[in-house]
Amino acid sequence: DAGVTQSPTHLIKTRGQQVTLRCSPKSGHDTVSWYQQALGQGPQFIFQYYEEEERQRGNFPDRFSGHQYPNYSSELNVNALLLGDSALYLCASSRGQDATNEKLFFGSGTQLSVL
């Protein structure tokens, strides 16, 4: 039973470029949440997708957008990259939009470096 898988594991981009990160949720899960974790910081909630719609959003600009597909996989897109976007991007999945947070399963993340 595959857990949460994310790709790529590492990515290097330059300022102004665009990036797409991908996440496949754990089998049986239908809800995907994205987090940004800067070095030495705790994860910051970006948004959550359920039934192919964005259901909740954290305090992130519109440069951060996402998508969820019918198979529950999800993408995180970041436009006009800034140096400050360099971070570990974590995807977490759960079953049901209202699942309590102990049921979150995290992927290993994508380490994004913006030069």
Partner 1 sequence: EDKVVQSPLSLVVHEGDTVTLNCSYEVTNFRSLLWYKQEKKAPTFLFMLTSSGIEKKSGRLSSILDKKELFSILNITATQTGDSAVYLCAVEASFPVVNNRKLIWGLGTSLAVNP
Please give the residue ranges that form the binding site for partner 1 (CB under 8 A).
Answer: 4, 40-45, 56, 58, 88, 90, 98, 100-102, 104, 106-109, 111
**Residue 27 CB, nearest distance to partner 1 (Å)?**
16
In the DSSP assignment, the letter for residue 13 is E
**Residue 104 CB, nearest distance to partner 1 (Å)?**
7
Q: Which is nearer to partner 1, 78 or 87 (CB)?
A: 87
Q: Which is nearer to partner 1, 22 or 45 (CB)?
A: 45
Whole-angstrom Cα distance, residue 107 to residue 8? 11
3-state DSSP percent of the chain in helix, strand and coil, to 5: 5, 50, 45
Where do we find the tokens 């665009």?
A: 18
Angle ∠(21,26,31) on CA atoms, nearest 5: 70
Q: Which is nearer to partner 1, 35 or 72 (CB)?
A: 35
**Residue 10 CB, nearest distance to partner 1 (Å)?**
11
Q: Which is nearer to partner 1, 59 or 70 (CB)?
A: 59
**Residue 16 CB, nearest distance to partner 1 (Å)?**
27
Amino acid 86 reads S
Whole-angstrom Cα distance, residue 10 to residue 21? 10
